[in-house]
Amino acid sequence: MKVHDILHNKEKKVNFLWILYGLVLVILFLVSSTDLIIKEETAKIYPISVVIGDVSDENYVNFRKGMERAAMEFNGDISFITLYEKGSAAQQKELMLREQEDGSRALIVAPVDAGMAAGMQQDNLLTVPVVFINTEKEKVEGLNNMAVLTFDYHAMGCRMGERILEEHPGEDKVYLLEGEKMNEVDMLFAQGVRDTLSVKGWTVFLIESAGENDWAQGLEEAVLIAPNPESLLRAAQFLVEDEQSKEKVKGLYGRGSTVPLLNYLDKGIIQGLCVTDDFSCGYLSVKTALELAEHRPVEEMGYLESYDIGREDLRNEKYEKILFPIE
């Protein structure tokens, strides 16, 4: 065989090997990056509806951040539903049934009326799992296909009462703002404050307020407590604008974790705040809802942690992580 023929055959073999190598690379690419050969399993997405009892969700900012983090990690699709009319149990019931009918695989509910919500499950109106948040444990515990994530609001009020006793040893009376539509959480917190202060001989004056600042009329020097974030914010804003009333209020206290309330705490308008770890509550509520939707066992959480803080605590790293969580 001539040298020319040998070289020609060798060149053909080399070209064939390069072509074969190229085909192998194409096949490997298809296997690794497309589903033309091996079809990837599509992650199952679970729609979850969150039905709260307020017309505004501004008190749920950190809670929502926690929900979104959990939804991203556990393949949930969150819909956040607020009432058109604050405190309407009938409207909340209607929305819960609507979301179930529209295909929600689980509900997360901050009930206006825990007894009504529990009754819906007992009457088999709800066929999807429900996670209750921010409510009385005793009214919703023991039902099938449900879980409770909440804080001990009565104990929270007791701690706030103890803080007031410590910071105002010379006082003996407190004004407790009671809104027109106090929900169960508000009443539990207020009862904790009353229980702690009354046993020490303090006089607790209940002031009904329909959202205006009529409580300031005839106000004597005393401590002022607001049992919910909305009434606390209104009181703080009013004291900033009305210097005469501000001089009579020896201390303003309440609960809530919104940025405006934290700013008023930082400015010294509010002296004490009860705050909750809303990010963790939101995260755990979605995680629990998905576990229930997948018929997996759910761990009993007990009461989630809450704290009472003063102005000096705002720079504490522990509370910064709770109050200003990174998404």
- The first and second tokens of residue 166, run together, are 């410590």
Percent of the chain predicted with pLDDT > 90? 44
Q: What share of the chain is helix, strand, coil (3-state, %, to 5)?
A: 50, 20, 30
How far apart (Å, rounded) are the C-alpha atoms in residues 317 and 81?
A: 33
Mean of the pLDDT values across residues 231-260? Answer: 89
Sheet holding 130-133, edge to edge: 76-81, 46-51, 106-109, 130-133, 146-151, 303-304
Identify the band that residue 59 occupies on the pLDDT scale cut at 50, 70 and 90.
confident
pLDDT, tens digit, 9 for 90 and up, residues 9-55 = 555 555 555 566 667 666 666 656 555 545 555 668 889 999 987 76
Q: 195: burial class by Cβ within 10 Å (0-12, 13-18, 19+)?
A: middle
Better pLDDT: 167 or 120: 167
DSSP letter assigned to residue 142? T
Q: What is the DSSP string of 66-126?
A: HHHHHHHHHTEEEEEE--SSTT-HHHHHHHHHHHHHTT-SEEEE--SSHHHHHHHHHTT--
pLDDT, tens digit, 9 for 90 and up, residues 105-154 = 999 998 888 888 888 877 888 889 999 998 887 777 767 788 899 999 99
Q: 64: burial class by Cβ within 10 Å (0-12, 13-18, 19+)?
A: middle
Q: What is the four-CA torsion angle of 31, 33, 38, 40, rounded to 10 degrees?
A: 160
Better pLDDT: 15 or 235: 235
Q: Are strands 146-151 and 173-179 parallel, antiparallel or unpaired?
A: unpaired
Task: Return the residue matching tokens 């009305």.
Answer: 242
What is the C-alpha end-to-end distance of the chain, expressed in Å?
75
Q: Of 20-34, 53-67, 196-210, 275-289, where does the model show the most confidence?
A: 275-289
pLDDT at 300 over 70: yes
Better pLDDT: 306 or 184: 306
- The first and second tokens of residue 113, run together, are 């009326």
Going by C-beta distance under 8 Å and a sequence separation of 6 or more, which residues neighbour residue 167?
Answer: 251, 271, 272
